[in-house]
Amino acid sequence: MRKQQNFALPTFTQNTYQGEFAGKYIAAALLSAKTLDNQYITIMPNVKYKAVIQSVAVDGIVQDASCDFQNSGSVALAERILEPKELQVNLELCKQEFVDSWEALQLGYSAFDEIPKDFNDFLISYVGGKVAQATEESIWRGAAATNGQFQGIYTALSSSVVAGGTTAPVTSSVSGSITSANVLSALDALVNAIPNTVYGKEDVLIYVPTNVVKAYQQALSGGTAGANGWNNQMNVGEKPLNFQGIELAFCPGLAASAMVAAQKSNLYFGTGLLSDHNEVRVLDMANLDGSQNYRIVMRYTAGTQYGIGSDIAIHKNY
């Protein structure tokens, strides 16, 4: 029989993490999102309110030499605004529902009669995983008008109205759902849609969702000689996520069959979570209302933006 735990009178009623220590917890939660964890896009921390992303386009600047200074060509300046949205977590959990799981992580039954600090860390870690999942999804398909979400990159790119006066992205000639039967043709069409000025850049990636990764693996694994001449006799297990020399960046937050080809230096994630204005609070309600409840409070900011739309190609999933 499991030893009964006494949670009635813990030695603390509130545990507050603020400033830099809080940043570690929130940063760990947000950076566990696959897109951010692998740095598939440019991360801009400490954006307190807004950040201006400036782009410069020059054309026709080379001219025949002469003795005089003759201004030539054109210079176009443009800017886009990255404005992270303030988000929060207000969650109440019952201790009893998590004690067994926490004890399992301690490799045995707890001998403590009071709640140790590790239990706080466990609850924060648990909630942090949920925050990471929500962040990953919002990075790509979030909608700023939806409670708990911020504007996603693919949401903005696939919109019929492109804000900020920038040129719309190039749309692949193939659209719709992707399966193992058409994944290679869909990827080929997307590569063809990448602007010539961008193709070949070192940081160009093709961002793909879960179903495309599965379809690509299945396509390359078909028979002794898989699709595209892939030799399965020499390669066992997972096939490399690479198409025609371009890395396929696995981003679970993308909606099924939605794909984006872009330079990671042209996609941005902004947040103020590393500033001094973030906090994580774990509130033990036992001494306040006699309950077995824990409250976890988080506040952070997050937002995305892209720079030059005409340098991006997308595959629409409809």
Per-residue pLDDT at 200: 92
pLDDT tens profile 20-66: 444 455 555 555 688 988 999 998 888 888 887 766 666 667 777 87
Per-residue pLDDT at 153: 95
Closest CA to 38 of 205, 223, 238: 205
Domain boundaries, the chain: 10-57+74-167+266-310, 173-258
The mean-pLDDT minimum among 65-69, 74-78, 297-301, 313-317 falls in 74-78
Which residues are paired to 44 by β-bridges?
A: 270
Note the pTM of the prediction, 2 decimals: 0.77
pLDDT higher than 90, residue 5: no
Rounded mean pLDDT of 291-311? 87
Could you tell me which residue, 272 or 161, shows the higher pLDDT?
Answer: 272
Per-residue pLDDT at 145: 93
The answer to whether domain 10-57+74-167+266-310 has CATH 3.20.20.140 is no
Per-residue pLDDT at 186: 94
Per-residue pLDDT at 106: 55
Closest CA to 307 of 271, 273, 264, 272: 264
In the chain, % of residues over pLDDT 90: 34
Per-residue pLDDT at 265: 93
pLDDT higher than 50, residue 139: yes
The mean-pLDDT minimum among 68-77, 110-119, 213-222 falls in 110-119
Q: Using an 8 Å Cβ cutoff, are 298 and 26 in contact?
A: yes
Half-sphere exposure for 309 (CA within 13 Å, toward CB): 23
